[in-house]
Amino acid sequence: MRIENRISRLRTLLEEKILDAVLVTKEENVRYFSGFSGDSAVLLVTREYLMLVTDSRYTEQAAAEAPLYEIVAQKDGLYAKTAELTAQMGVVALGFEGGALVYDQHQKLCTLLGEISFDTSLSLDALRQIKDANEIALIRRACAIADEAFARVIGDIRPGMTEMEIAAALEWYMRRAGSERPAFQTIVASGVRGSLPHGVASGKQVAHGELVTMDFGAVCGGYHSDITRTICIGRADARQRSVYDAVLTAQQRALSAIRPGVTGAAVDDAARAVLDAQDLNQYFGHGLGHSLGLEIHEEPRLSQAGKELLQPGMLITDEPGVYIPGWGGVRIEDTVLVTSEGSEALTHAPKEFIEICL
Ligand code: ZN
Ligand code: ZN
C-alpha cells in the first residue's frame, strides 16, 4: 500500500470521528503514515495539510523520506510547535493516540492546546494489522536472515561457550546479512535456565547434556522477524526428547489451524490440546503468539483472550513452550503469514530435534 492510501485511511478517520486533525505521535505510526524512519517527530494530518514536525537533526532525512509532507522544524519542543500549527490552522477538534502518550506528555499537550476538544481514543495501530506486499517482503527477508544466522550458529556452538557468546554470534551473523539491529534482546537460555521463557543470554556456559533455547530476530526496513529453536548439546535423554516432540507437535498443530476466519483463541486451543494430552499444559504459561510488523509485539494475539478473527495478510508468531522449573524448557517458534488459503511459515530453520555431538 502506498503512503497515499495510508493517508487516505487517516483522513477517513477524520470524517468518521468528526475531527479537524489527527496528531500521530507513536514512532512506528509516524513511519507507517509518512515513511520517515527517525524518531523525535510527530505528524499533523488535516483534510488539506500534511505536516511532519521534527528538529534540525532530522529535517534533511525527513524531507527525503517523507516527500508528501511539509517538514516543519521546531526549536522549542514538538508539542509547542504542534500547538502553534493547530492554532494557525484553526483546529478545534483534534484526535490523538491516547495509548501512545505518557501522562506528562498528555498534560503538556492539553495545557499548550488550550480550548481544543480531544479524541484520545484513536488506535492507529489497528490500521497496521493487515500487511501489504512490500511489508510482507521485508518480513520475509528478516526471516531469511534469522534462518541463515541459525544455520551458521549451529556450527559454532560448543560446550563451554557462554550464552552471551552464542547471542553475540547470532547477532553478528544477522547484522552481517543486512539486519538493521536485533529485533529484541536475544534470548539464549540453557539447561535449567530454559524454564525462564524470557531468559536473556547470561554469562552461563552451555554444557553437555543441556537443552539450549535461542529466540532471536532480524529487522529489515523497520520490520521484524521472530524465531525460536531449541537444540540439545550431546545426545538428548528420553524426557528431553518427549517434551521436544510434544512442543513440536503442538506448534505444527497450531500452524495447520491458522487460517482466515478463526480466532486467536481457537489456534491457541489447538496447541494447548496437544500439550494437555501429555500433561504438559500446566507448564505453558504464556499465549501462543503475537502479531508483528513495525513492532515486535502487535495485535491481534493468539491466546485464550484472542477473539479477533484472523485475516489474510496478518503476520503472527506460533510459539508454544514448556517450562519446567528445575529442569529446563523447550520453545519452538515460527513467524507465520495468514494467507487466503491458510498459513505460510516464513521462518524455515529446521525443526527436527538437533543434537550437537562433537
Ligand atoms: Zn521470539
Ligand atoms: Zn515471539
Residues 6+ away with beta carbon under 8 Å from 104: none
Q: Report the separation in Å between the CA atom of 237 and the middle of ligand 1, taken as the mean of its atom positions.
A: 25
The answer on 179 and 30 residing in a single domain is: no
147 and 61 within one domain: no
Confidence of residue 121 (pLDDT cuts 50, 70, 90): confident
In CATH, what number is assigned to the domain containing residue 248? 3.90.230.10
H helix count then E strand count, the chain? 9, 19
Reported as a single tens digit per residue, the pLDDT across 283-312 is 999 999 999 999 999 999 999 999 999 999
Q: Confidence class of residue 181 from pLDDT cuts 50, 70 and 90?
A: very high
CA of 73 to the centre of ligand 2 (A): 37
CA of 146 to the centre of ligand 1 (A): 11
Q: Which ligand is nearest to the CA of 184?
A: 1
Q: Which of 100, 128, 156 is the last residue of a domain?
A: 128
Cα of 226 to ligand 2 centre, how many Å? Answer: 5
> Which ligand has the nearest atom to the CA of 292?
2
Mean per-residue pLDDT, 77-81: 94
pLDDT at 155: 96
Task: Measure 227 CA to ligand 2 centroid, in angstroms.
Answer: 7
Peptide bond before residue 300 is cis, with ω within 30 degrees of 0? yes
Question: Which residue among 107, 128, 149 closes a domain?
Answer: 128
For the CA of 216, the nearest ligand: 1
Q: How far is the CA of 358 from the centre of ligand 2 (A)?
A: 30
Ion ligand 2: residues, CB < 5 A: 226, 317
219 and 328 part of one domain: yes
In this predicted structure, what is the pLDDT of residue 1?
A: 65
Of all ligands present, the nearest one to the C-alpha of 186 is: 1
How far away, in angstroms, is 226 Cα from ligand 1 center? Answer: 5
Name the 3-class secondary structure at 213.
strand
Closest C-alpha to 62, from 31, 83, 85, 89: 31
> What integer best gives the mean pLDDT of the chain?
96
Q: How far is the CA of 132 from the centre of ligand 1 (A)?
A: 22
Residue 114: the pLDDT is: 86
pLDDT value at 115 more than 90:
no
Run of H or E residues at 85: helix 78-89
Ligand nearest to the CA of 316: 2
Cβ-based neighbour number of residue 20 at 10 Å? 17
Please name the residues in contact with 27: beta carbons below 8 A apart, sequence gap of 6 or more: 39, 41
Residue 61 has pLDDT above 90, yes or no: yes
Confidence of residue 146 (pLDDT cuts 50, 70, 90): very high
Q: In which domain, by residue range, is 170 found?
A: 133-356
| Angle at which helices 238-257 and 264-277 cross, to 10° | 150
Q: Extract long-range pairs of 151-158: CB within 8 Å, 24+ residues apart.
A: 151/349, 153/214, 154/231, 154/354, 154/356, 157/206, 157/212, 157/231, 157/233, 157/356, 158/358
- The cell numbers describing 67, all together, are 516527500
Ligand at minimal distance from the CA of 189 is 1
Residue pLDDT, tens place only, 207-226: 999 999 999 999 999 999 99
The alpha-carbon radius of gyration of the chain (Å, integer) is 23
159 and 87, same structural domain? Answer: no
Q: Which of 89, 110, 128 is the last residue of a domain?
A: 128
